[in-house]
Amino acid sequence: MGIGDLGKRLLVGRKLRSTQLRHELLPKRIALPVFASDPLSSVAYSPDQIFLMLSLAGIAAYTVSWEVAIAIVFVMLVVVVSYRQNVQAYQSGGGDYEVTTTNLGSKFGLTVASALLVDYVLTVAVSISSFAQYVASGIPAFEGYQAQLAVGAVLFLTAVNLRGVRESGLMFAVPVYLFMVAILGMAAIGFLRYLGGDLPVADTAGLRILPQPGFEAGFAGLGAAFVILRAFAAGCATLTGVEAIANGVPAFRKPKGRNAATTLLVLGLIAVTMAISVVALANLIDVRVAEDPATQLVQRDGEPVGPNYHQDPLITQIAKSVFSEFEAGLFLVIAATGAILMLAANTAFNGFPVLGSILARDGYLPRQLHTRGDRLAYSNGILTLAGLACILIIALDASVTRLIQIYIVGVFVAFTLSQTGMVRHWTRLLGTETDARVRRTMTNSRRINALGAMVTGTVLLVVLVTKFTQGAWIAIVAMVGWFALMRAIRRHYDRVTAELEVEEADQALPSRVHAVVLVSRLHKPTIRALAYARAGKANVLEAVTVDVDPEVTKALMDEWDRLGITVPLKVLASPYREVSRPIIDYVRRIRRASPRDVVTVYVPEYVVGHWWEQVLHNQSVLRLKTRLLFMPGVMVTSVPYQLRSSAAAIRREQRVEHAPGEVRRGAPEDTE
């Protein structure tokens, strides 16, 4: 095992056989934290977005935060119930893409796929950037280094996910469950203290919020309605990640559809309970947050808090109030929240590779994304997602405020088209079903999905109207870019497939084979190439060298004659001391003279054992081979000669690897 392979094994673990895939499937207790980390983590920032948007109209707008939260909970429950139909009807892992493609056509399916790919990348960028902000607020040393911290967190998640779905699920289960316990426990204690009359108000309760221009006269009119819609659109970030279960159905144990539906229901109930609890407690303790705290938040004397004011997130302010007499509880909530924000990206690391694999299977993405790695994870998809997320984090400097504006557009496009596709699905089945009981079930399912389509379509419209100028247009442009790219890739694959179709003329034998052996000097690699070419029994066999240095060429010809080599040696003139061009021109002349002939060029090559030796050898050969490969009717055959330094590498490749204890049980030992 080489150093590179050893490092890979230490990073991602031992290879897994294809037959071990069934052991990687997830029970519900592990699937929940694997797929729930994104929607649960949104509890850490989506309630903040509701209050931040409402703060534009001043403190009076906070009175409608309850209504906004209840509307979001309603949408969440509708989506969860609707997707329970999806995961049981379509279990291949295609999720929204498969539903939409099957029922609405490939263009709508690609639209959904584009939306989800954008959403998955944004999920990683938003959640990891939010994690970096939490860490920087708790550890001042990281202030100003949020982007670097976020990139490091992405790389950590990438390494963990490369180890496989089951192992990453086991690793992430404890932090996710800890976050659930921390937030639900904080909510329970907070409500009990409020009922007991000893729940302190927030530290920010004494601050006032100055309304932005347009709201000086109060919170009313069309401006108020627009602010409420913006708060609703921002808070709908709670719904992101729900669709990942539809793409991750193959990762569940059997019965896959039922287990996925149960996990989805539990996820939805926990997420809405946590979100509504945070909003309720924030109102009960009079939390104050503002989009621009330095100027919007003012003290009792009317002075702004200033640029040095640090605004804690809602959860931190609530925890300080609830655990005012129990500091360990505060630290638990902060630590659990920071952990879940980092792990939230894990939902995308499970959804993006599976969707990418299905799109690659259908010819819309590079085929390398279709295959599993040696840990049975879609390694290329994981690496692609990590790379795109890191680029986005660096480009926007890990700013959650800027990233959140281009978030959730894609997921609601997918929601709406998927639910519309499910309505078509049930309508098609009802056209052939005659059993009355089954028809009633299908009719109810169609009603659920129709409601889901209407609700998510309405939310999508609200999001587009309220967020378009704030950055949602970037997500739309990215979706259009993905759509165009995938269509182009599919056209390329279709064109190549059509071009490679076997025709009758392809089976005809060439008239003759003209073999050319390239010679730079007379040594063992050249002799081996000549011998191999002679064994091919070509119709014409000749050796070719380029006259770059007349003295070297004359010495080569003399040595050729002295050894009595029967293959004729042709010398190509090169007045400008080029090597590749004279050979290319000569091969092209042969092709022009006999277009039905096949020209086989034999290229002697060194096989070396160290990377730095590769730099010192074969560079001219590589350039020449690259040019020859683009010439029709020309076959390039490499004739390797192993240098002594390559022997260790060869032995490593041929070494027999044993599992622990295998030799004791009678397996043959490695003879090296």
472, 463 contact by CB (below 8 A): yes
Mean pLDDT value across residues 491-512: 79
Q: Residue 583 has what pLDDT? A: 93
Give how far Cα 62 sits from Cα of 9, 58, 279, 357, 568, Å: 53, 8, 10, 45, 93
Instruction: Fill in the amino acid letter for 277.
Output: S
109, 264 contact by CB (below 8 A): no
244, 385 contact by CB (below 8 A): no
Helix (H) or strand (E) holding 667: none
Q: Residue 485 has what pLDDT? A: 94
Q: In the structure, what pLDDT confidence band is assigned to residue 1 with cuts at 50, 70 and 90?
A: very low
Q: Tokens standing for 363? A: 């010819």
Measured between alpha carbons, how far is 227 from 124 in angstroms, rounded to an integer?
27
Q: Residue 483 has what pLDDT? A: 95
Measured between alpha carbons, how far is 359 from 378 in angstroms, rounded to an integer?
13
Return phi, psi of residue 638, to 5°. -85, 130
Place of tokens 């996910």: 161
Q: In the structure, what pLDDT confidence band is assigned to residue 614 with cuts at 50, 70 and 90?
A: low
Give per-residue pLDDT as tens, 117-152: 998 898 888 888 878 877 776 677 777 788 888 899
| Cis peptide leading into residue 632 (ω within 30°) | no
Neighbouring residues of 176: CB distance < 8 A, sequence distance ≥ 6: 32, 33, 36, 37, 40, 340, 343
Q: Coil, strand, or helix at residue 547?
A: strand
Return phi, psi of residue 308, to 5°. -85, 0
324, 190 contact by CB (below 8 A): no
188 vs 4, higher pLDDT? 188
Measured between alpha carbons, how far is 236 from 404 in angstroms, rounded to an integer?
11
Give how far Cα 452 sits from Cα of 14, 195, 239, 495, Å: 44, 37, 13, 39
Has residue 664 got a pLDDT over 70?
A: no
3 state SS for 55-68: HHHCHHHHHHHHHH
Q: Residue 530 has what pLDDT? A: 94
Q: In the structure, what pLDDT confidence band is assigned to residue 306 with cuts at 50, 70 and 90?
A: confident
Helix, strand and coil in the chain, % to nearest 5: 70, 5, 25
Q: In the structure, what pLDDT confidence band is assigned to residue 169 with cuts at 50, 70 and 90?
A: low
Residue 510 CA, chain-centre distance (Å), reads 47
Q: Residue 113 has what pLDDT? A: 92
Q: Residue 18 has what pLDDT? A: 44
Give per-residue pLDDT as tens, 342-399: 777 777 887 788 888 889 989 999 888 887 765 556 788 889 999 999 998 898 887 7
What angle (nearest 5°) sits at the alpha carbon of residue 340, between those of residues 138 and 131?
A: 40
Instruction: Fill in the amino acid letter for 196.
Output: G
Q: Residue 119 has what pLDDT? A: 86
Put residue 2 in one of left, alpha, beta given phi > 0 → left and psi -120 to 50 → alpha. Answer: beta
Q: In the structure, what pLDDT confidence band is assigned to residue 19 with cuts at 50, 70 and 90?
A: very low
Put residue 214 in one of left, alpha, beta given phi > 0 → left and psi -120 to 50 → alpha. Answer: left
582, 589 contact by CB (below 8 A): no
Q: In the structure, what pLDDT confidence band is assigned to residue 635 with cuts at 50, 70 and 90?
A: very high
Give per-residue pLDDT as tens, 473-483: 888 899 999 99
Give how far Cα 328 sits from Cα of 182, 257, 332, 335, 342, Å: 11, 41, 6, 10, 21
Give per-residue pLDDT as tens, 394-436: 988 877 767 767 777 888 888 899 889 989 998 998 888 888 8
Return phi, psi of residue 121, to 5°. -65, -45
Mean pLDDT value across residues 219-226: 72
Q: Residue 225 has what pLDDT? A: 81
Q: In the structure, what pLDDT confidence band is assigned to residue 6 with cuts at 50, 70 and 90?
A: very low
Instruction: Fill in the amino acid letter for 74.
Output: F
> Measuring CA to CA, which residue among 415, 87, 93 is closest to residue 262?
87
Give how far Cα 467 sits from Cα of 57, 547, 579, Å: 17, 69, 60
Instruction: Fill in the amino acid letter for 368.
Output: Q
Instruction: Fill in the amino acid letter for 562.
Output: R
Has residue 602 got a pLDDT over 90?
A: yes
Query: Could you tell me the domains of the chain?
Result: 20-397+410-488 (1.20.1740.10), 506-654 (3.40.50)
Return phi, psi of residue 109, to 5°. -60, -40
Q: Residue 388 has what pLDDT? A: 93
Measured between alpha carbons, how far is 284 from 286 in angstroms, rounded to an integer?
6
Measured between alpha carbons, how far is 649 from 183 in angstroms, rounded to an integer?
55
Looking from the CA of 207 toward its CB, the CA atoms found within 13 Å total 25
Q: Residue 590 has what pLDDT? A: 92
